[in-house]
Amino acid sequence: MPSIAAQDAKAFDETSDAIDSVNALKGQIWNTASEFDASKDKTQFRQYEDACDRVKNFYKEQHEKQTVDFNIKARVDFKSKKRARMGVWQAMEMLNTLVDESDPDTELSQIEHLLQTAEAMRRDGKPDWMQVTGLVHDLGKLLFLFGSEGQWDVVGDTFVVGCKFSDKIIYPDTFAANPDSVDPVYSSEYGIYQPHCGLENVMLSWGHDEYLYHVLKDQSTLPEEALAMIRYHSFYPWHREGAYQHLMNEKDLKHLEAVKAFNPYDLYSKSDERVDPAKLRPYYEQLIAKFFPAELDW
């Protein structure tokens, strides 16, 4: 398996966590009468200003480099390379090497965050497919272990490439150095797309959401709502800010509801009580077996 320096893993996790902290604090939270979300004291998470410099620097790089050309190349690479073959729990254990000892919000490992997300859904009586979606939703961060170009093509809020960059994207001014922002086609409202073509037909900026969606859409029996939760959970300009309505179709309305139902469990599960992976493993392995083969191509 690919290896990664400990300091790189720590820097990756610090950036990823800072992005989550900003998203947890800056926006309005959609509430589906979830006991879990209603009971959270969101003031206890890291303050926006503490994460701001790291996040600004991250997004400056991401916004400059996420071009149409890069995204086409990333998808070609995805289809032409097999990075690993392993089961879901093995993938969780591999992701667990990205442990951030400096995280001020939690001392939890990656695997514990996944289990906390799933357990919060389980306590709220969510269906088994949603629980297992919570369990796997961040496995796309394995990209960082599989030779990504940096952090900017793994984590961060996602957005549509191939049309005008929305002013609803965080730090929109940082797109000025992206060559697509002055391309006559890519900078137009619809760009390479047709009105109301549906988000399933657009390219989202390449990262852990898009990667995992492509891994699982043909290798699982997850319902389309689950796949939408995975693909769009970092698509904040859309599900929080209301951008890209001119590209949406009716199916996207159902997907939007699903992503909004998922989001609180992802953002606000970190401060829950510690979980015991060994104790929970039998329960979640039987859920994994319902929706995934024994091994998947990554």
pLDDT for the residue numbered 11: 80
pLDDT for the residue numbered 30: 36
Across 235-239, average pLDDT: 97
The response to whether 10 counts as a known ligand-binding position is no
For 134-158, b/e burial (b = at least 16 CB within 10 A) is bbbbbbbbbbbbbebeebbbbbbbb
Which of the two residues, 113 and 67, has the higher pLDDT score?
67
The response to whether 138 counts as a known ligand-binding position is yes
14 with 57, same domain: the answer is no
The response to whether 156 counts as a known ligand-binding position is yes
The response to whether 63 counts as a known ligand-binding position is no
The response to whether 77 counts as a known ligand-binding position is no
26 with 126, same domain: the answer is no
Domain that holds residue 292: 48-297
pLDDT for the residue numbered 270: 67
Across 222-226, average pLDDT: 98
19 with 160, same domain: the answer is no
231 with 260, same domain: the answer is yes
| pLDDT digit string, tens, across residues 162-204 | 999 999 999 999 999 999 999 999 999 999 999 999 999 999 9
Rounded percentage of the chain residues whose pLDDT exceeds 70: 82
The response to whether 101 counts as a known ligand-binding position is yes
24 with 52, same domain: the answer is no
Instruction: Specify which residues 203 forms β-bridges with.
Output: 161
Rounded percentage of the chain residues whose pLDDT exceeds 90: 71
The total domain count for the chain is 2
20 with 68, same domain: the answer is no
The response to whether 100 counts as a known ligand-binding position is yes
| pLDDT digit string, tens, across residues 17-34 | 677 667 765 544 433 445
Which of the two residues, 42 and 51, has the higher pLDDT score?
51
The response to whether 113 counts as a known ligand-binding position is yes
The response to whether 167 counts as a known ligand-binding position is no
The structure tokens listed for 96 are 């667990």
Across 231-246, average pLDDT: 97
Cα separations (Å) of 32 from 37, 38, 54, 186, 262? 8, 9, 32, 36, 10
The response to whether 46 counts as a known ligand-binding position is yes
Answer yes or no: is pLDDT of 119 > 80: yes
The response to whether 157 counts as a known ligand-binding position is yes
98 with 227, same domain: the answer is yes
The response to whether 207 counts as a known ligand-binding position is no
